[in-house]
Amino acid sequence: MAIKRIIIFSGGRLGEWALSYISEGDWLVGADSGARFLVANGLKPRLAIGDFDSVSSEELAQIGEVSEELISCDPVYKDFTDTEMAVEWALSQCPDELLLLGALGTRMDHSLANMHLLRKARDCGVQAVIADDHNRIALTGEGETLRISKSESNFTHVSLLPLSLEVTGITLEGFQYPLHRATLRLGQSLGISNVLNDAEGFVTTETGLLLVIQSRD
């Protein structure tokens, strides 16, 4: 059976907004306390994974009872974050899409590491997005065109940040501040806080990897 989308709930910022992303047919994965969030909201994770150092032994027992599968590891000797372990498992299932919720929070190191996981998914040919109640982050590049629709979100700004040292051939259509075959280099802020003028906007690149961040205050 083809898997259309896997949603990973991680241990960062989560709330009721996250539940609105769930659609029928989605596979739900809880990474560490993300599994607790799913169970607390009456949802059954297909997988709960992590070292579970953020949950109590009683909560872990409940997670194990509800989840279809539980993978627990030692927090000292593991080589990957809980979210990366969840992503690795999700990619092994060959979904069409991967959505990461709770991947952003107060820990900037974890937030940045999770944004880098978009590259891992892309290398496997899987479309991946990170979202929370203020941001939606996607990765594009190397001859691709990313479509952004006003009607599909309430985000007011669109920012472009290179994930590679250089991104060339950036062309923006439908934006207040258009670009035509522009180059962005790591450390530049030229791509911050653009706005859609049209109902749809298009971001095209020729080389490099580009983070496209839709956001609102």
Structure-token pair, residue 49: 């994974």
Structure-token pair, residue 162: 């290179």
Q: Which amino acid is at 174?
A: G
Return the bridge partners of 147, or none: 202
Neighbours of 198 (CB within 10 A): 13
Query: In 3-state terms, what secondary structure has residue 3?
Result: coil
Average pLDDT over the chain, rounded to an integer: 94
Mean pLDDT in residue range 8-29: 96
Using pLDDT thresholds of 50, 70 and 90, give the confidence band for residue 177: very high
Mean pLDDT in residue range 123-138: 95
pLDDT score of 153 more than 80 = no
Using pLDDT thresholds of 50, 70 and 90, give the confidence band for residue 115: very high
Q: Give the model confidence (pLDDT) of 89-107 as tens digits.
A: 999 999 999 999 999 999 9
- Give the contacts of 162 (CB within 8 A, at least 6 positions apart): 184, 185, 186, 188, 208, 209, 210, 211
Structure-token pair, residue 6: 């896997």
Q: How far apart are CA 34 and CA 141, in angstroms?
A: 30
Return the bridge partners of 6, or none: 27, 98
What local confidence, expressed as pLDDT, does residue 155 receive?
A: 87
DSSP, res 74: -
Query: In 3-state terms, what secondary structure has residue 138?
Result: strand
Decide if 184 contacts 192 (C-beta within 8 A).
no
- Give the contacts of 150 (CB within 8 A, at least 6 positions apart): 196, 198, 199, 200
Using pLDDT thresholds of 50, 70 and 90, give the confidence band for residue 77: low
Supply the pTM of this predicted model.
0.94
Decide if 116 contacts 103 (C-beta within 8 A).
no
Sign of CA dihedral 7, 107, 155, 130: negative
What local confidence, expressed as pLDDT, does residue 76 receive?
A: 56
